Amino acid sequence: MSGLEIRALVQRGGFDLDLDLRLGRGATGVFGPSGAGKSTLLHAIAGLLPAEQLRVAVDGEVLVDAAAGVSPPPHQRRVGLVFQDHRLFPHLSIARNLRYGESAGGGVDLDEVVDLLDLGELLERLPRDCSGGLRQRVAIGRALLAAPRLLLLDEPLSSLDRGLKLQVLPFLRRVQERFGLPTLMVSHDLSDLLALTDELLLVNGGRAAGQGDLPSIAADQGAVELLAGSGLSFSLPGRMARRDGTGLGWVELASRAGEGLGDPGCCEVACGEVTAEIGDEVEVILGPADIVLAVPPMDARLSLTNHLLGTVERITRTAARCLVQVDCGLEASVLAEVTERAVERLELAPGVPVVALFKAQAARARGLGAQRPGPAR
């Protein structure tokens, strides 16, 4: 069977983690409130926590099956684990830290990993002489050199400040693109997970509370309430196009293949915070509360810089607010948080045309470290 299969039952200190999962072969972001069982899941898979039941298989290959007597020690599970605090050996050079992870079976070349993570000039340094971002890249490289079949990332960016985090993100994407390893990544930052993973797994109270991409999860009221309580955000992929004299960065949003939006200008949005160069592939990060919805035609002049024309796809109601999913013809949906009164006043329903508006200062354009070709002129 293609993909990742996990059956895990962990009982410790009055807390039960009970998950039976079928995941895709790409990267899955594990998200939920503190104490939900996210790190417990990763540590049990890696063999660092005892589990009452545990079965892990990748593409039908069983890595662990306690019931069948397949329960190798952690260093033989072919599972790479990266912690938030690096856990490098302080007395060993970067080169020796990397080599410590090398698998006897080979399969991953040290020079390739060094080149991929841009570590060539650091090999003789000690960890204390490297920034947190560099140490995290070394930890990722060490995990890869163990030739894992499954990669586990436990809050890999949480110990980094924003600047260092933005340095590490492109390297994590390189790893995914080069090795294509099934990956579970735990993070308390939903925008990081949206940037790096293909689907989300919501965990709450040791149980799965939702699974899939953000739009499909957002169709469930309980999942939306869980996300909203943990800082719901969404991202729109695109390409950094230009900067203007006011300091704003302009991003050409990626539209779905073969679908134009009429006015070419409506695919370009202004962002107040930009960490990318012209031509870089980026994601524009927004919160649903940043989005204002209006019904066309609009006659009033508005101070909001960005206008995206679309249609309502879905409305999910929670106890306090409504989450409106809007199709603007882009690679990702726009999510807007509004009141029930606004839904009634604007007569919002699936298929109703709307304009999604937001301030430039509400949008962050974060570079993903790759070049996207510009449109033909």
Residue 261 has pLDDT above 70, yes or no: no
Choice between 366 and 102, residue whose per-residue pLDDT is larger: 366
Q: What is the mean pLDDT of the chain?
A: 86
Q: Tens digits of per-residue pLDDT, 121-142?
A: 889 999 999 988 889 899 999 9
d(CA 46, CA 210): 23
What DSSP string runs through 147-194? --SEEEEESTTTTS-HHHHHHHHHHHHHHHHHH---EEEE-S-HHHHH
Does the pLDDT at position 178 exceed 90?
no
Q: Which domain holds residue 304?
A: 235-371
Number of compact structural domains in the chain: 2
Residues 200 and 251 in one domain: no
- Cα–Cα distance measured from residue 224 to residue 318, given in angstroms and rounded to the nearest whole number: 7
Based on the fold, state whether residues 169 and 23 are members of the same structural domain.
yes
Same domain assignment for residues 16 and 150: yes
CB 137, CB 168: distance < 8 Å: yes
Residue 86 lies in a domain: yes
**Comparing C-alpha atoms, which of 112, 104, 137, 107 is closest to residue 122?**
137
What is the distance between the alpha carbons of residues 219 and 339, in angstroms, rounded to a whole number? 17
Are 126 and 48 in the same domain?
Answer: yes
Residue pLDDT, tens place only, 274-326: 888 899 888 899 989 999 999 988 776 788 889 999 999 999 887 778 999 99
pLDDT band at 106 (very low <50, low <70, confident <90, very high): low
Same domain as 160, residue 105: yes
C-alpha to C-alpha distance for 80 and 152, rounded to whole angstroms = 6
Give the highest mean pLDDT range of 220-234, 278-292, 342-356. Answer: 342-356
Residue 377 has pLDDT above 80, yes or no: no
The pLDDT of 100-107, averaged and rounded, is 65
- Quick one: pLDDT at residue 375? 31
| Dihedral (CA of 80, 83, 84, 90) sign | negative
Token representation of residue 284: 């524009």
The answer, yes or no, to whether residue 372 has pLDDT greater than 50, is no
Q: Specify the pTM.
A: 0.77
Q: Is residue 218 part of a domain?
A: no
